[in-house]
Structure 1
Amino acid sequence: MTEHEPRFDFRTVGSKTVYEGAILALRLDQVEMPGGRVAEREVVEHHGAVAIVALDASDRIALIEQYRHPIGRRLWELPAGLLDEIDEPPVDAAKRELAEETGLAADTWSVLVDVTASPGFTDECVRIFLAENLSQVDRPEPKDEEADIVLEFVPLDEAIARALSGEFVNASAVSGILALAASRAGSVALRPADAPWPDLPTTFERRKKSHG
């Protein structure tokens, strides 16, 4: 195929929902492949999410250690949360999650990187923000896993080393830490906090909204 030839249009010719839960749905799509074969593809619909690299004046990143049941242990992560209100601007959700999980606010916000979590089977996408010029705010009373959160400020160089050593494995944390390092190394300008986000997933939230 040359660069000027049209690419194949992968059409969905059938779809059924097999599970719908509190934070995700599973559907089976029938998708037309090149050559005419129709293949079944499992798709997990999920909320979009935001994560925050909160950087203080001493070049330290706010990291939280939180229990994650699917893998059965605590992970070091960035403050983060789901986008479960379809009309809420992502940066507003990020400000709310930062306050709820760390008791911090920030005066300066920009977009570090957008990450599709695992596009082979889910539409989940995470926008990772850089938050600077931090200050303390009241933190709501935590509950469930959040009541067990440990907050630690980690120097950026140490965070990079812990990500590359395999100690940090959370995808948003690794992506955010290394994106910040790369932007600095290459003097790359970051996008504004309200930059367009074409891959923001809305299918699951629209599904929930349609149920009333």
Structure 2
Amino acid sequence: MSSEPTAGNEQLADEPADVVVLDSELLVRGHVWDVRRERFQFGGTELVRDYLDHPGAVAVLALDAEDRVLLIQQYRHAIGHRDWEIPAGLMDMPGESGLAGAQRELAEEADLRAESWGILLDLFLSPGGTSEAMRIFLARDVHEVTHDFVRSEEEAELVPRWVPLEDAVAAALDGRIQNAVTASAVLAAAAARASGWTTLRDPELPWTAREAARGERSS
């Protein structure tokens, strides 16, 4: 591959790759997600890669009338921290759209509903080792809502806090909050607000990146 950068005015965009998967083996059936090994053709040879097979997830940056962001503190065992996050959850409900999943998570984790929705960001969180695709929504015009969902396990100890967007951005840049989704979301929200929210996308847009990441694998 050439070390010279590509010249020209082409619009930057990730591209789906058409590779031939020769074998797909489920190594671990996990409690939440699985570990898979695949053998595939690439560059005239065969490669083998193990990765976390993930159903995808959604997250919600809720912004109130005072431009405050809702953050929740939650214990995460893999990192041994109670980190600050925006409401988020797995896309593990069959047939559920990204927007519906985001609305469900905002209600379940924050007891909120929103009248205004837009897509803030689409992310591949760790493309070298997991198929996880994340869609982050911006939710505005938020109101309290009642529901019958009961938070349990780690979610039973969620600590909510409304934080000015500028403070959340500063915390991310200072390294005081390190959750990748939260940092990405607050920085993107600051940039989107500076543009007059013109960068927001239709919340009903198809989520093709997640569909491509999941593929048709089975075992």
TM-score normalised to the size of structure 2?
0.85
Would you say how many aligned residue pairs link Structure 1 and Structure 2? 203
Matches within 5 A, 1:1-212: 10-34=19-43, 36-139=44-147, 140-187=149-196, 188-201=198-211, 203=214, 207=218
Contact 2:24 2:217 in 1 (8 A): no
* Structure 1: runs of 5+ lacking an equivalent: none
Range with greater deviation from structure 2 (173-182 or 13-22): 13-22
Contact 2:98 2:207 in 1 (8 A): no
Q: Which runs of 4+ in 1 moved over 6 A?
A: none
Instruction: Using the aligned pairs only, state the percent identity.
Output: 42
In structure 2, the CA distance between the partners of 1:205 and 1:22, relative to structure 1 (3 Å rule), is farther
Given residue 84 of structure 2, which amino acid in structure 1 is its aligned partner? Answer: W
Partner of 2:10: none
Task: State how far apart, in whole Å, the 1-side matches of 2:106 and 2:178 are.
Answer: 20
Given residue 80 of structure 1, which amino acid in structure 2 is its aligned partner? Answer: A
Q: CA offsets per residue over residues 99-123 of structure 1, 9 Å max, x none?
A: 1111111101110001101011111
Given residue 125 of structure 2, which amino acid in structure 1 is its aligned partner? Answer: A
Shift of 1:39: 1.5
* Structure 2: runs of 5+ lacking an equivalent: 7-16
1:64 alignment partner, SS class:
strand
Shift of 1:95: 0.9
1:200 alignment partner, SS class:
helix
Given residue 142 of structure 1, which amino acid in structure 2 is its aligned partner? Answer: R
In structure 2, the CA distance between the partners of 1:151 and 1:38, relative to structure 1 (3 Å rule), is same
Shift of 1:170: 1.0
In structure 2, the CA distance between the partners of 1:50 and 1:205, relative to structure 1 (3 Å rule), is farther
TM-score normalised to the size of structure 1?
0.88
Given residue 150 of structure 1, which amino acid in structure 2 is its aligned partner? Answer: V
